[in-house]
Amino acid sequence: MTDDANDAVSLRGVTKRFGAVRAVDDLSLDIPAGQTVALLGPNGAGKSTTIGLLLGLLAPDSGTVRVLGGTPEAAIRSGRLAAMPQEGGLVPRTTVRELIGFVSGTYRAPLPLEEVLASAGLEGLAGRRMERLSGGQAQRVRFALALAGDPELMLLDEPTSALDVRARREFWESMRAFAARGRTILFSTHYLEEADEYADRVVVIDRGRIAADGTSREIKRLVALSTVSVTATGDTAPLERLPGVVSVEIRGERAHLRTRDADATVVALAAAGAVRDLEVVPTALEDAFLSLTGQAGRAAGLTEVDA
């Protein structure tokens, strides 16, 4: 954590309760300007509450929330902070150009309309009415609306949840172009491959607190698990007793061993003559996420990283 006054986001000891539930629990987090940060966590972990606090939609019970050096409300009024919800009604019977042009006119220094359309990949759809857009096209319009004021910080809450694979790829190409201009992005997602591929930094939240914070590679290293796969023959029960093995999953003829020590596991398999079609795969971000948030691996003695 830093004390840099130029951080795009700074949360200090923030707590937010809903009745007896602490949705956010003494959370401290700094995001330097220019970073793309993925906010991960299971349902109810506090992701949406954190984004609500950063947007000024919720007030903290304790602690301080600073966005671009001031309050969230000031950042929004100045157009420096924008948000893109996962859903949101678009005005029917208006064209893409009309709606984006109207919203652009509410800002003091908006991006040129043609630049917004190009950045969101909407040049060929500018004359289409809202009710005729596909889900992916509508999401691009929401991105364009958030982009219109030329914000310095973009908050995205599950931005690709309703999109197919192609639309998700197109969306992230647009976001990469936005980030390349030195802008800051904070996004929550359930698609862990998006965090792995597009985020400079991953922050894992569990029960309102930070469970892990670092690059995707660093998060994976915290868990230190690999998967050793072999073609299974005969009784697979002894596989669970091999050195380093945490769990065994059988899928068809393949046994997939999650292990803390891939080398020791492979040596033991070789000694037992059980090495057939061997494959060793490093920890996936999904495995690290499940372990750090306690959805898997607690029985294996994994320790969470506290905030």
When divided into structural domains, the chain yields a total of 2
Q: Are residues 212 and 232 in the same domain?
A: no
- Within a domain: residue 4? no
Residue whose entry in the numeric block shows the structure tokens 């996004």: 187
Is 84 in the same domain as 175? yes
Q: Whole-angstrom Cα distance, residue 82 to residue 90?
A: 17
- Contact at 8 Å (CB) between 287 and 225? yes
Provide the H-helix boundaries in 80-239. 96-104, 113-119, 135-147, 165-179, 192-198, 216-223
Q: Is there a single domain that holds both residue 263 and residue 124?
A: no
Question: Which range among 166-170, 197-201, 238-242, 293-297 has the greatest average pLDDT?
Answer: 197-201
Same domain membership, residue 241 and residue 177: no
Residue 116 resides in a domain: yes
> What pLDDT was estimated at residue 302?
31
- Does residue 137 sit within a domain? yes
Instruction: Quote the pLDDT of residue 164.
Output: 81
User: What's residue 297's pLDDT?
Assistant: 36
pLDDT one-digit tens code per residue, 218-274: 887 776 678 899 998 777 778 889 998 988 888 888 999 988 888 899 999 888 887
Residue 192's domain spans which residues?
9-219
Same domain for 96 and 240, yes or no, is no
The residue to which tokens 């630049």 are assigned? 115
Q: What is the CATH number of the domain that holds 20?
A: 3.40.50.300
**pLDDT of 132 strictly over 90:** yes
Q: Are residues 203 and 158 in the same domain?
A: yes
To the nearest 10 degrees (0 to 180), the angle between helices 135-147 and 96-104 is: 20
pLDDT at 2: 47
Cβ within 8 Å of residue 126, ≥6 positions away: 95, 96, 97, 117
The span from the first CA to the last CA of the chain, in angstroms, equals: 11
DSSP-based three-state secondary structure for 256 = strand
Residue 5 has a pLDDT of 62
Segment 24-75, tens digit of pLDDT: 999 999 999 999 999 998 888 999 999 999 999 999 999 999 999 999 999 9
Calculate the average pLDDT of the chain: 87
Q: Say yes or no: 247 and 146 in one domain.
A: no
